[in-house]
Amino acid sequence: MPKLSELGEKRLIQYLVEHLDWPRDGLLPPGDDAAAFWFTGQLVASVDTLVWETDVPPRMTFRQVGWKAVTAAVSDLAAKGARPKYILLSLALKPSTEFSEFLDLVNGAQEASKKYGAAIVGGDINESSSHSISVTALGSSEKLLSRVGASPGDMLATTGLFGKTFTGLHAAMNSRPCERELAEAVYSPVARVDEGVALATCGGVSACIDSSDGLAESLHQLSEANDVGFIVDSLPLDSSAQRYCVDNNLDPVEAVFYGGEEYELVFTVKPGWGDVVEKALARLGKEVVWIGSVNQGRGVYFQGKPVERRGWQHFSPVR
C-alpha cells in the first residue's frame, strides 16, 4: 500500500467521494465545498477530537480510533436526548501514514456512524507532524436534556455500571490479560443514544450528562451547574471490573470514579418519577442503575467522605 505522501490530498478526497456511503437526502453532490440538507426539529451539535499522543491507548488500531472518535462526539448528543444524523470528519495525518491505515480510520468512523443511524457527509484532510481526528456530530431532538435542572430531593442514577474502562486500560498499559468486555470498553465503546432519547422523552429526568470525563468529574460538573450536592450510596461497579481489581490489587472505588470514557449517562430523576424512568429504559431491555440522591450544598460524597475532583483535562497537570 502506498503512503499518503505518494497520493496527495485530492486523490484521497476523490477516493472518499467514490467509496463512502453518502446519504441520499443531500442537496449538494458529494465532494462539494459544503454539505446541505433540509432539517426539521431542534438541531444539536457537538465536536470531539482524539489526539494520538494523549487519547489513543496502546495497540488501538486506526479502525478503532475512527470508531471511538465518532462515539465520543455522539455521546454528547446522547446526553442531550438527540439522535445523530450527520457526521463531519477532520483528519490530520502524517505524510508517512499508509493508505491502508487511512482507509481503516475512515472505515471505523463510517461503521460507528452507521451504528448510531448517522452518515458521514464531509470533512477535511490535512498534513501534520502528528495524528489527530476531529468529529462533528449533528443531530436532532424532540425534547432536550440539559445538565441544569437537578434539585435537592431528586434521585441520582446512571445507564450502566462503571470500572470497565479503568481496568481495561490498566490491562492494556501493563500487558495483562483481562475479560473481553473490559477490553471492548477501551477499544470499542458504545454511546447510549437510545437511552438518551428515552430519558429525554419520558418526562422524569431533570438533568443529564455523559461520563466521558469520569464519573467523579461528571458528578462535580453537575454539582457545580445546579448548585447542589450528591450522596452516592451505592457503588456502580461492574462485576468483570471487580474481578480484575481483586486479581490485580486495584481499588474498586478508584476504578468506578476515575475511569473516564465510559460513555454512560449520569442523570437525576424527579421525586415520584422513578417507575416511569425505569419503564422507559426497560422498553430498550435496559435497567436504571440507582446510585444515590441529590441534596443541598455542593460536592460529591461516598460513604460519608468527599469524592475528590479528578478527571482528564487537557492543558492541566492534574489528572
E strands, the chain, where?
42-51, 83-93, 119-127, 132-141, 155-158, 205-210, 229-232, 265-269, 289-295, 299-302, 305-306
Q: Determine if residue 194 is labeled as part of a ligand binding site.
A: no
For residue 32, the SS3 value is coil
Q: Determine if residue 146 is labeled as part of a ligand binding site.
A: no
CA distance 74 to 61: 20
Q: Determine if residue 206 is labeled as part of a ligand binding site.
A: no
End-to-end CA distance of the chain: 39
Q: Determine if residue 123 is labeled as part of a ligand binding site.
A: yes
Q: Determine if residue 218 is labeled as part of a ligand binding site.
A: no
Q: Determine if residue 21 is labeled as part of a ligand binding site.
A: no
Phi first, then psi: what are they for 243, rounded to 5°? -65, -40
Q: Determine if residue 213 is labeled as part of a ligand binding site.
A: yes
Crossing angle for the helix pair 99-115 and 62-78, nearest 10 degrees?
30
Q: Determine if residue 67 is labeled as part of a ligand binding site.
A: no
Task: Quickly list DSSP for 40-103.
Answer: -SEEEEEEEEEEHHHH--TT--HHHHHHHHHHHHHHHHHTTT-EEEEEEEEEEE-TT-BHHHHH
Q: Determine if residue 22 is labeled as part of a ligand binding site.
A: no
Q: Determine if residue 238 is labeled as part of a ligand binding site.
A: no
Q: Determine if residue 227 is labeled as part of a ligand binding site.
A: no
Phi/psi-derived region of residue 247, left when phi > 0, alpha when psi is between -120 and 50, beta in every other case: alpha
Q: Nine-digit cell at 185?
A: 470498553
- Annotated binding-site members: 33, 46, 48, 55, 76, 123-124, 147, 210, 212-213, 261, 312
Which residues contribute to the annotated binding site for substrate? 55, 261, 312
From the annotation, which residues make up the binding site for Mg(2+)? 33, 46, 48, 76, 124, 210, 213
